[in-house]
Amino acid sequence: MSDIEIKQIINPILASDGAGVKLKRSIGVEPNYFDPFLMLDEFGSENKDDYIGGFPPHPHRGIETVTYMLQGEFEHEDSTGAKGRMSSGDVQWMKTGSGIIHSEMPAMSEGQLHGFQLWINMPAKLKMSKPDYIYIDSDKMSVHKDDEKKVKVIAGKFEKAEGPVKGHNIEPIYFDVELIKDKEFNFKLLSTHNSFIYLINGEIEIGTKNHEKIKDSNLILLEKGENLNVRAKSKSKFLLISGKPINEEIVRGGPFVMNTKSEILQAVQDYHNGTFVK
């Protein structure tokens, strides 16, 4: 069984989205696409001016968005009539399919907001499917905890802790891992999958080969393999995310990701003529 080594270490770029929400973007820039992952944003600030504008109503088609709130509160509303509030530790896994118009607005006027949004591509056969959601409340999330680490399982399985996202076409892994200084996190991944770690804070080492220092807010793309070994040089917190590549051509058009340019033009036309939401 092959040990997993680092493929590339990426420093996120500073960006903004929605109504000026400040964030750090890694996937979606370089690399532009890490099949099946289209984008990864970390948003977070203690300054309300950096997030108060939120994400007013906007459309999506052909992707899944996974929002993970580490701290703070967001209110969600969409064209299906769904409404809800995300609090610290909650996850919203949204399959936009044929099209949805939604808003995500901070339900707070002060304090710290911190979280992540991951975009996952959908295969051609599912891009025009009916929109769907999975909500995961923090108090219902499966957690593995021992003397060395704490692993929150959003998707996949670690030891006896299993996430609620099942039967998914990319067979996803999504873990939030907290690792004590000088301890190790070991996990067996599928060699067919593309995988990455996003280091939120702390300092870690990965694999058996020497590599540059990895500390705080770094995206680490992993080589394909099976045996993942992560060592904490200091108390660390990171996301481990993995998924099976879809291996289809994609065309991007802002919030729309389809397989051909004509499908993007159709999405834009549908949105402007009022037939976007099926």
For 209-226, write each residue's pLDDT tens digit.
889 888 889 999 999 999
* 219-240 mean pLDDT: 97
* Per-residue pLDDT at 76: 87
Q: Report the SS3 class of residue 50.
A: helix
The pLDDT tens digits of the residues spanning 175-192 come to 999 999 999 999 999 999
Query: Token digits for 208?
Result: 């058996």
CA distance 213 to 222: 15
pLDDT of residue 143: 97
Tokens at residue 13, please? 């770029």
Pairing of β 113-121 and β 173-179: unpaired
Read off the pLDDT of each residue in 94-108 and give the average, rounded to a whole number: 89
Identify the CA nearest to 24 among candidates 41, 48, 9: 41
Q: What is the DSSP letter of 192?
A: T
The pLDDT of 163-183, averaged and rounded, is 96
Q: pTM surpassing 0.85?
A: yes
What is the mean predicted confidence (pLDDT) over 236-264? 97
- Mean of the per-residue pLDDT values for the chain? 92
The residue that leads in pLDDT, 102 or 219, is: 219
Residue 31 confidence class, pLDDT cut points 50, 70, 90:
confident
Q: What is the per-residue pLDDT for 1?
A: 65
With a cut of 90, say whether residue 106 has pLDDT above it: no
State the average pLDDT over residues 20-24. Answer: 85
Q: Which residues contact 45 (CB under 8 A, 6 or more apart)?
A: 22, 51, 112, 113, 114
Residue 119: name the closest of 32, 202, 47, 13 by CA: 32
pLDDT(87) > 80: yes
pLDDT over 70 (residue 174): yes
Angle CA(249)–CA(60)–CA(108) in degrees, nearest 5? 135
pLDDT in tens, 33-45: 999 999 999 998 8
81: CB partners within 8 A, 6+ apart: none
- What average pLDDT does range 18-42 have in this prediction? 90
Task: Tell me the residue length of the chain.
Answer: 278
Sequence ranges of the domains in the chain: 6-273
The per-residue pLDDT for 60 is 95
The CATH class for the domain spanning 6-273 reads: mainly beta
Give the neighbor-by-neighbor strand order of the sheet with 214-215.
Answer: 184-188, 227-232, 203-206, 214-215
pLDDT for 180: 98
